[in-house]
A and B are shown apart, each in its own frame.
Chain A
Amino acid sequence: MMKKRVMVRFFTIPEYEREGLFLQEQHRQGWKLVSVYLPGIYLFEACEPEEVVYQLDFNEEGRKELHSYVQIFRDCGWEYLFSYMGYSYFRKPMKAMQQQESIFCDDASRLDMMRRVFKSRMIPLVVLFALVILPQTFLQASQRDGSLHSFFFYSYVVLFVFYLYIFVRFFLHYRKLSRS
């Protein structure tokens, strides 16, 4: 039986490029990606170490008509692995490339992808943040007397900081792309 291993690694919504690099690094060490179970839980299978580029696309329309969506990637030499949480995972061995290749060849389409991520993944977060996290953080702050309240207060502060971190990362990434 193939040797397998599970790794836990978290990437926030805008960090799909870092996720691709992480998967590439695992393949370089002889572990190829098999699947993602829950957010952050990756299953790998032992393989020959190889330079393989991993990239993520986010395209809901594409996932609705998966056959023709995957076909164009396949024609261009990219293997489709699976889709998880809206992201579709692709890989292509470096030896099959004449130059450094990516599933996107211009910044306009990279920005379009970020807009799609923003629409489907970030807007629900923004709503949750504005309607729940933000008011609750202040509410719990004003009522901080018992230990239970402190517990809620600190939980909301942690969430608050985490959300801000995601928004700021997303914003910085977007700005970097739109300026170039």
Chain B
Amino acid sequence: MDTHIRKVYVPMTETGFYILLCLQQPMHGYGIVQKVKELTDGTILLSPGTMYGSLSKMEKDRLIALIREEEKRKIYQITDLGREVLALEKERIIRLYRNMEEV
């Protein structure tokens, strides 16, 4: 993992985290919006401008890959690099949680 990826994605935004989390399954942008709404009981509503921008940025950085297009909706899936980044983020969140419980 190069320094650019580390600098931009570790730690990552909540939007970035949910995108990678959801894209462990192939999904399109709006699918992610719906999934996150469901996961967070409607607390987190991702917006289309943020979603479109994040997906194209992550695709360019090869964290996710376009696999096909269905009815004008681009379907993406996480790449190996994306999984690495997600694993780092997961570690960070676990550490945060543990520290919060301890202190």
Where the two chains meet, the residues of A that have a C-beta atom closer than 8 Å to any C-beta of B are 55, 57, 59, 61-62, 67-69, 71-73, 75-76, 78, 98-99, 101-106, 108-109, 112-113
Contacts and interface: CB of A to CB of B under 8 A. Distances in A.
Interface of B: 13-15, 28-30, 33, 42, 44-54, 56-57, 69, 71-74
Contacts of A55: 49
Nearest to A57: B49
A112 B60 CA distance: 14
Nearest to B16: A108
A99 B56 CA distance: 26
Contacts of A69: 52
Q: Which 4 A-B pairs have the closest CB atoms?
A: A103-B49, A75-B30, A109-B50, A105-B47
Contacts, number: 75
Contacts of B42: 98
A42 B21 CA distance: 43
Contacts of B28: 72
Contacts of B48: 72-73, 75-76, 78, 103
Given A78-B48, A109-B15, A61 B56 contact: yes
24 contacts: A57-B49, A59-B52, A59-B53, A62-B52, A62-B56, A68-B69, A71-B30, A71-B73, A72-B30, A72-B51, A72-B52, A72-B73, A73-B48, A75-B30, A76-B47, A98-B42, A101-B45, A102-B49, A103-B49, A103-B50, A105-B44, A105-B47, A106-B15, A106-B50
Contact of A109 (B30, B49, B69, B72): B49
Contacts of A98: 42, 45
A83 B40 CA distance: 34
A180 B60 CA distance: 26
